[in-house]
Amino acid sequence: MATTLRRRLPPDNRHVEVPHREDSAAEQSTSHVHIVERGPRKSKRRFTFIFLLGGLCGLLAAGFMASSNDLLEFPEFGELSVDSLLDVLPAGLVKDVKDLVQGERDITDAYDSFSVGLKVRAEGLDAHHPIVMVPGVISTGLESWGTANISRPYFRKRLWGSWTMMKALVLDKENWKQHIMLDRQTGLDPPLVKLRSAQGFDATDFFITGYWIWNKIFENLATIGYDPTTSYTAAYDWRLSYPNLEIRDRYFTRLKSHIETALVSEGRKVVLASHSMGSQVVFYFFHWVQSDLGGRGGQDWVETHIESWINISGCMLGAVKDVTAVLSGEMRDTAQLNAAAIYGLEKFLSKEERAELFRAMPGISSMLPMGGNAVWGDLNWAPDDQPGQNMSYGSFLNFRAGANWTTPATNLTIDDSLEFLFNSTEDWYHNQVKKAYSHGVAHTKAEVEANENDPSKWINPLETRLPLAPSLKIYCFYGVGKPTERSYYYRPPDQPSATSLKVMIDVGFTEGKVDHGVIMGEGDGTVNLLSSGYMCNKGWHMKRYNPAGTQVTVVEMQHEPERFNPRGGPKTADHVDILGRETLNEMILRVAAGKGDTIRDHVVSNIRDYAAKVKVYDDEEAADGSS
């Protein structure tokens, strides 16, 4: 396999029309990039990125917990190093970790990581617009700046996104939880604890050693001339609600200041590139920066300062797996673990603890699904239902009949599920979520304009509009073709008095399309296709959501992973691994280099058919009685 890995990997199978070097500037401006990709290639590869803490802990706990209690009693492990930690872990688990890291190194050696940058540089493209990158949830490291006794051992060490985190999880779990969870009442720092986002390129290049996140993009940007003076990573503490990002960290104030400085110093407008939750952060920022309730930049601030917004795998309407994470501390990653792994995970970090952690990170709840039943369907219908499907995706939380279970009495839609979530969780949780976020639909222009003065609506593109920036260009780049959880089967706990959870995934139910209580739909493995694709293909073509007529370009990328590549290779479309995809990197470079107008729409999924069925209508349709 080593020999195979070290061959030069071919670029994406696409046709790119570019001008010859001797062509005039006028001719170059009219050249277009046409992306033509093949259908999905069959592969037995199954590699799941750790989306949230439960999945990460599952990998660690699968073989470790059988001896964890004894290990924790030994004082000599107080100065445990990474090497000694690996010494005490089961050999199989250590091998898996080493294989992952070594696999990453092999892939790095297998082909030139700078090849995309070298290709476009040979065409004459170079650094043009300053670029600001806004990362997604989970991928930014969090480090301790507290000086109280409980924090001193971790001063300036990462308690999220490092081997220090792994060590703390194993040997100092309660203290780690105390650091990672925000105060329940305020949503800010708990007493004696001060955790902050890491800054600079180091904040997001790698999650842990060997697991890259933004590093491929950094390499290719550097190849065409970018450096820290013309590029910037706007890392943030993803645990915080969006209002608290400004209250505690002045995040949006600092982002506004950096963009304004970049415009003055470089003389060109800025390109924003965001990934996943970072796209929600950018959309919220657009409202904050222009509002008198926020940055007071005025309605023309975005038009003056922002050239383009590259929206990568944006969960613009949330992700359904976010509901299950905060409802019961579960998702597909935990539900489909084998029995030994589930046992280890529950002994180490139970469902109750995981749900408690997720709820105490209000930023994660920003990704609860938006649009309600109009977008996600009802008990009998959903826009993405498939022909011959015997049960609608709109029936989101399902309960098997005849199993002597009494609560809830019926299956639940998305609207019902959010209501059930808020009714079955603590007051502090649903008070914080409802105060910070809104999940509805504004059906008229008047509602949309009124919502510009309500910060709780700023996260929701179905309740607010794009900025009044006619020259702004939006690029929606996202993956398709990877099964993504869409609905679930749930059941009450066996011993309700022994747990604080009202329900849990029915992991014992596997039948037809139901696998361990999880039903899969379309998306990129994390974000559902309706979320990543609806606004780009339909919503932002409605006048009330896009009154300035901002141009929106959509490029979907089919998931075509390489069989022996642990991260899928240069044609993956996985939610996180797509950041290393050659096609995506090339398009980012073209936009940054001022050649974004050479990129054309490329839609391979059925998103436009699904979007047409969504029960959100433009003003003309509503006037005709379509609603």
Distance CA 227, CA 110 (A): 25
575 is catalytic: yes
Residue carrying the six token digits 């849990």: 504
Among residues 274, 276, 279, 392, the one annotated as catalytic is: 276
Strand partners of residue 133: 233, 273
The two structure tokens encoding residue 509: 């139910």
399: Cβ–Cβ under 8 A, 6 or more apart, which residues? Answer: 405, 408, 410, 411, 489, 490, 491, 506
Hunting for tokens 């802990």 — which residue is that? 57
Q: What are the start-end ranges of the H helices in 439-581?
A: 445-451, 529-537
- In whole angstroms, how far apart are CA 67 and each of 63, 347, 353? 9, 11, 20
**Whose structure tokens read 């002994």?**
347
Selected catalytic residue, list 305, 516, 575, 602: 575
Helix (H), strand (E), coil (C) string for 124-158: CCCCCCCEEEECCCCCCCEEECCCCCCCHHHECCE
Half-sphere exposure of 252 (CA within 13 A, CB side): 26
Q: What is the per-residue DSSP string for 87-134?
A: HHS-HHHHHHHHHHHHHHHHHHHHS-TTHHHHHHHHTT----S-EEEE
Question: What Å distances lie between residue 422 and 183, 326, 368, 508, CA to CA?
Answer: 18, 10, 12, 26
Q: Give the alpha-carbon dihedral of 538, 544, 546, 547, to 10 degrees.
A: 140
CA distances from 130 to 282, 331, 554 (A): 16, 38, 22
524 is catalytic: yes
What is the rounded CA–CA span in Å between residue 576 and residue 592?
Answer: 21
Q: Do 277 and 366 form a contact (C-beta atoms < 8 A)?
A: yes
* 3-state secondary structure (DSSP) of residue 46: coil
Which tokens is 299 given? 């309605």
* Candidate list 322, 524, 574, 577, residue with the active-site label: 524
* Residue 536 exposed, middle or buried by CB count within 10 Å (0-12, 13-18, 19+): buried
- The residue assigned the tokens 């003076």 is 229
For 548, phi then psi, to 5°, come to -85, -5
Beta strands per DSSP E along 337-431: 397-398
Q: Is 276 a catalytic residue?
A: yes
The answer to whether 473 touches 307, Cβ cutoff 8 Å, is: yes
Could you give the dihedral angle defined by the CA atoms of residues 215, 221, 227 and 229, in that order, rounded to the nearest 10 degrees?
-110
Which residues, in sequence order, are CB contacts of 530 under 8 Å at separation 6+?
317, 375, 376, 383, 384, 607, 610, 614
* Helix, strand counts (H, E) of the chain: 26, 14
Two tokens, residue 496 = 């309700």
- Measured CA to CA, the distance from residue 426 to residue 299 in angstroms comes to 39
Q: Which residues contact 462 (CB under 8 A, 6 or more apart)?
A: 317, 370, 371, 375, 440, 441, 442, 535, 539, 545, 616
Catalytic residues: 276, 524, 575
